[in-house]
Amino acid sequence: MEEHEHEALPPAVPPVSRRDFLFRLGLVLNTVAAAFVGIPVLGYIASSMFKGKAQQAWVALGNLDSFPTGQTRLASYRNPFTTPWDGATADVPCWVRRKPDGDFQVFAINCTHLGCPVRWFPQSGLFMCPCHGGVYYEDGSRASGPPPRGLYQYEFRVRGGHLEVRGGETPNLSEAV
Amino acid sequence: MNRLRALGKWFDDRLALGRLYDHTLGHRIPLSSASAWYVFGSATLLCLIIQLVTGICLALVYVPAPDQAYASIEYLDYVQPLGWYLRALHYWGSNFMVALVTIHLIQVFLFGAYKYPRELTWMVGSGLFLATLGMAFTGQTIRFDQDAYWGVEIIVSILGRLPLVGEYATHLLQGGPIVGSETLSRFFALHVFVIPGLLIGLLVVHIRLVLVLGISEYPEAGKPLDKETYAEDYEATVARSGIRLMPEGGGKDLVFSALILTAIILCAAFIGPKIPNGPADPSLIHTVPRPDFYFLSLFAAFALMPPYLEGFVIVYLMPLAVVLLFAVPFLSRGAERHPSRRPGAVVLVVLVGVSLVTLAYEGVLSPWSPEMDAWSGQPVQPQFVEGRSPLEHVGATLLQAKQCRNCHALDGKGGKRGPDLAGVAMRLTPDQLVRQVLQGGGNMPAYGKHLAPHEVSALVAFLETLHPANAAPARNSAQPSGGVAGQPDKP
Ligand code: FES
């Protein structure tokens, strides 16, 4: 453990001087420069936080005929906003249920507990989660286990014989699609 | 020889290496600080060096883009000469680094070495500990296999539970609204630039603190620390019996580090790298994500805690744990350093250690995860169907067909999420079985809508047979006839 004192400047240097002014000016200029670099950097990084809703769009899930009445089938849509190097990650799976009356329900694949992919079992009419055993009924409502709510559902519409969903966002508790 | 010496002097005149040595490796430490217990920090440093070297090499081949990341890892494993070996070194180096930094932290805690004047050293060390965990997590993520993909989804779900900022936090981490190329790039940048930069910066401060403050003496019971005289005493000890950090004090570090290095090399050569478990393709939903071992306890904790606690744990408890870690030197202010005089500290370490190990063990077994293909892959064992009536056979078939076995084992075979059904007839009366099947409850869904009345009767008839031959099934004492499910009681 040693102590260290800054050496005093030789007395010949006048206390306030052009050097002093230059030093202060330098500080100000560099602060301005730092702001010009720093603010864009923050904006660049933070821009991802606000992409949300703007990236949602209607995307086709498939022909109406590919969803027989009374069945629940796995479908997937291509994320509306992708980069060329996104690969398979842009193919988002979801469960499409065609109710006996012909109406649809489109469920996100993600368990509402911690996001694991749920699986559909037609024999028992249940969605089961492989992670912690969350279970949902065929209409997506919560049946049992740790999930705090039923499955997330996508908005959908039928256009020209096609089922379309509003995709582009992975649902979680803070944004349930 | 004289030539050589002259050459050495020529360099020394310019680089002042001798003086550098005196202030660093050659600086004097108390004899007791050269304890064989004090080897974990230097061994962690060795791991860091291995990680840096192998990591840079891996970055020469690895492509941080979702469409090619997986292929580039396979390329490393199977095509690139010695790629598998460097991946293995990097993988095992990380395992050892996490283990050693944890042991280092525990040892410093138990020896009270974080006490005056080394509070800041502890805090910087805590930062290094967290940075190491951050490296481990980002590292397993950029392997970008199915575990990695769903691991990120899980973290995002956790962040999504934060009140108010949830949406922004998830988007910031994902680099957008879904897990994709920007997510991987983010984790890659964190793994190779941001966290290593932070880690090296903190390490410089950590080492600087060690050099300025010296290495704490081996703790002695009944020799409390006195802030007034500590500096003087330390200097006096060093003056009396000080040895140089290198070579006298560091022999044990070198030997221990060499052992660790050998262990890493052996693991890498004989066990090899972690094989990625399938490309990160979200449409391959037949996956059961598992984190690497260091996060198994956290993973298990989230599986086991009651759902109503999750929000509280995420928002308050986890940040609080981090704050507490940093605040250790200010919370534990006693003057005693030796563990025998600090039973609280020992109990705390044992408690935390036992909980983490138990949780990790549970994490490996994951009894809370249903066995998703048990219904088709684990038929009812013969001893449960032998000599049963047709109705009971139908019940056994239904037990399979309705996926009951995904959560319910029969004599240990099948999912462990729910109770084992062998012997269930001893616990529940027929009426209770019917109610449980139809209405669910506990962690079981209600099957009312998907079982016809005759199916319920068959299923319960089969469940009724599940009791040891020499023990009677449970009966409702208010119904002397025993009340067979699905059949009206005879008057
Ligand atoms: S993630 Fe589905 S139950 Fe936990």
pLDDT in tens, B410-464: 988 899 888 999 889 888 998 899 999 998 887 899 888 888 889 999 999 999 8
Last residue of a domain, one of B298, B333, B365: B365
Put simply, the chain A residues between 98 and 127 with a CB less than 8 A from any chain B CB are 109-110, 113-119, 121, 123-126
All residues of chain B having their beta carbon less than 8 Å from the beta carbon of residue A52 are 167, 171, 177
Range of A44-58, B191-205, B281-295 with top mean pLDDT? B191-205
pLDDT of residue B70: 93
Is a pLDDT exceeding 70 seen at residue A177? no
CATH classification of the domain holding B133:
1.20.810.10
**How many structural domains does chain B have?**
2
pLDDT of residue A3: 53
> Domain check: are B190 and B277 in the same one?
yes
* Option in A88, A92, A170 nearest B279 (CB): A88
Put simply, the chain B residues between 209 and 248 with a CB less than 8 A from any chain A CB are 212-214, 231, 234-235
Closest to A75 in 3D by CA, of A57, A86, A60: A60
All residues of chain A having their beta carbon less than 8 Å from the beta carbon of residue B400 are none
pLDDT band at residue B310 under the 50/70/90 scheme: confident
**Which chain A residue shows the shortest CA-CA distance from B209?**
A1
Interface membership of B158 toward A (CB under 8 Å)? yes
CATH classification of the domain holding B396:
1.10.760.10
Q: How many CB atoms lie within 10 A of CB A82?
A: 18
Q: Structural domain of residue B94, as residue ranges?
A: 24-365
Q: How many CB atoms lie within 10 A of CB B302?
A: 24
Question: Would you say residue B482 lies in a domain?
Answer: no
Question: Would you say residue B153 lies in a domain?
Answer: yes
pLDDT of residue A146: 87
> Domain check: are B418 and B455 in the same one?
yes
Residue A8: in which H helix or E strand, if any? none
Last residue of a domain, one of B334, B365, B396: B365
pLDDT of residue B252: 92
Is a pLDDT exceeding 90 seen at residue A168? no
Q: In the beta sheet, which residues pair with residue A153? A: A107
Is a pLDDT exceeding 60 seen at residue B490? no
Range of B185-199, B313-327, B468-482 with top mean pLDDT? B185-199
Helix B83-110 to helix B119-142 angle (10° resolution) is 150
Overall average pLDDT of the B198-225 stretch: 92
Q: Do the Cβ atoms of B216 and B113 come closer than 8 Å?
A: yes
Closest to B141 in 3D by CA, of B282, B291, B281, B271: B291
ipTM > 0.85 for the complex: yes
Q: Which of A113, A120, A173 to mutate to test the pocket of ligand 1 (most atoms within 8 A of CB)?
A: A113
> pLDDT tens digits, residue range B211-221?
999 888 899 88
Overall average pLDDT of the B87-103 stretch: 96
d(CA B176, CA B165): 15
* Option in B161, B177, B406 nearest A51 (CB): B177
> Domain check: are B175 and B322 in the same one?
yes
pLDDT band at residue B473 under the 50/70/90 scheme: confident
User: Of the given ranges (A16-20, A132-136, B268-272), which has the lowest mean pLDDT?
Assistant: A16-20
Mean residue pLDDT of chain A comes to 87
């094989």: which residue's tokens? B275
| Residue contact B443–A145, C-beta within 8 A | yes
Q: How far does the centroid of ligand 1 lie from the alpha carbon of residue A116, in Å?
A: 6
Question: Would you say residue B478 lies in a domain?
Answer: no
Range of B90-94, B148-152, B454-458 with top mean pLDDT? B90-94
pLDDT of residue A1: 44
> Domain check: are B338 and B453 in the same one?
no
Tokens (6 digits) for B46: 């060795």
Higher pLDDT residue, B480 or B238?
Answer: B238
Overall average pLDDT of the B335-354 stretch: 92
Question: Would you say residue B30 lies in a domain?
Answer: yes
Q: Please, what sign has the CA dihedral across residues B65, B67, B68, B70?
A: positive
d(CA B43, CA B96): 9
| Residue contact A89–B280, C-beta within 8 A | yes
Overall average pLDDT of the B176-185 stretch: 90
pLDDT of residue A54: 66
Overall average pLDDT of the B41-70 stretch: 96
Q: How far does the centroid of ligand 1 lie from the alpha carbon of residue B405, in Å?
A: 18
Question: Would you say residue B176 lies in a domain?
Answer: yes
Is a pLDDT exceeding 70 seen at residue A5? no
Overall average pLDDT of the B59-78 stretch: 95
From residue A68, how far is each of A71, A120, B120, B346 by CA, in Å?
A: 6, 15, 66, 64
Overall average pLDDT of the B358-363 stretch: 91
> Domain check: are B339 and B389 in the same one?
no
Question: Would you say residue B122 lies in a domain?
Answer: yes
Question: Would you say residue B84 lies in a domain?
Answer: yes
Overall average pLDDT of the B357-372 stretch: 89
Interface membership of B282 toward A (CB under 8 Å)? yes
pLDDT band at residue B369 under the 50/70/90 scheme: confident
B293 phi and psi angles, rounded to 5 deg: -60, -30
pLDDT of residue A170: 83
* Option in A82, A83, A114 nearest B158 (CB): A114
Task: Note the pTM of the prediction, 2 decimals.
Answer: 0.88
> Domain check: are B418 and B295 in the same one?
no
* Option in B170, B180, B280 nearest A79 (CB): B180
pLDDT of residue B284: 85
Exposed/middle/buried for residue B52 (C-beta within 10 Å: 0-12, 13-18, 19+): middle
Mean residue pLDDT of chain B comes to 90
Ligand 1 neighbours, Cβ below 6 Å, are A 111, 113-116, 129, 131-134, 145-147
d(CA B301, CA B292): 15
Write the CB contacts of B273 (distance below 8 Å, at least 6 apart in sequence). Answer: B77, B84, B87, B88, B90, B91
Q: Do the Cβ atoms of A105 and A162 come closer than 8 Å?
A: no
| Residue contact A172–B179, C-beta within 8 A | no
| Residue contact B285–A169, C-beta within 8 A | no
pLDDT band at residue A169 under the 50/70/90 scheme: confident
Overall average pLDDT of the A95-113 stretch: 93
Overall average pLDDT of the B180-187 stretch: 93
Residue A79: in which H helix or E strand, if any? none
pLDDT of residue B491: 42
Is a pLDDT exceeding 70 seen at residue B485? no
